[in-house]
């Protein structure tokens, strides 16, 4: 275990549903990340939070809405998703984003299927 947990591990939802993914880190880190992992594509960075402030949004559609209430928790709110949004969504954390070369620690991911 890396100290980063994600719930749920699996999620199936219809295109009209609203759901949320949760990530929690127990490492005392200040930065948290959402990634999308699709088959045969590199991991795509979606959002970066540093000290609870969003510092990067990689042109992600508005149907994905992140929330970081504190440095230990990160949410990804989902609404009106498309089938092509089906993927493994990974959360990661690191000490911070302002120090070079800091490693990121990943959660187990949420396997999302959009019907």
DSSP assignment letter at 83: G
| Least distance in angstroms from the C-beta of 80 to another protein | 28
Beta carbons of 46 and 114 less than 8 angstroms apart: no
Tell me how far apart the terminal alpha carbons of the chain are, to the nearest angstrom: 31
Tell me which stretch binds another protein (CB under 8 A): 15-23, 62-70, 75-83, 107-115.
Answer: 107-115
Q: How many CB atoms lie within 10 A of CB 35?
A: 21
Please state, in angstroms and rounded to a whole number, the distance separating the CA atoms of residues 115 and 13. 6
Backbone angles phi and psi of 34, in degrees to 5: -115, 130
Indicate which single residue of 19, 20, 43, 79 sits in contact with another protein (rule: CB under 8 A).
43
| Least distance in angstroms from the C-beta of 28 to another protein | 17
Indicate which single residue of 54, 82, 94, 114 sits in contact with another protein (rule: CB under 8 A).
94
Please state, in angstroms and rounded to a whole number, the distance separating the CA atoms of residues 50 and 53. 5
108 binds another protein (CB under 8 A): yes
Per-residue binder mask for another protein (CB under 8 A), 2-21, x = binder: x-x-----------------
Interface with another protein (CB under 8 A): 1-2, 4, 31, 40-43, 45, 48, 50, 55-56, 90, 94, 96-109
């Amino acid at each position: 275990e890396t100290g980063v947990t994600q719930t749920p591990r699996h999620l199936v939802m219809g295109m009209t549903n609203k759901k949320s993914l949760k990530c929690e880190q127990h490492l005392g880190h200040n930065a948290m990340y959402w990634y999308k992992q699709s088959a045969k594509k590199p991991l795509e960075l979606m959002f970066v939070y540093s000290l609870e402030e969003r510092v990067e949004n990689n042109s992600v559609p508005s149907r994905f809405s992140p929330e970081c209430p504190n440095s230990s928790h990160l949410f990804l709110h989902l609404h009106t998703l498309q089938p092509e949004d089906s993927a493994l969504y990974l959360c990661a954390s690191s000490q911070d984003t302002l120090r070079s070369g800091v490693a990121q620690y990943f959660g187990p991911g949420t396997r999302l299927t959009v019907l």
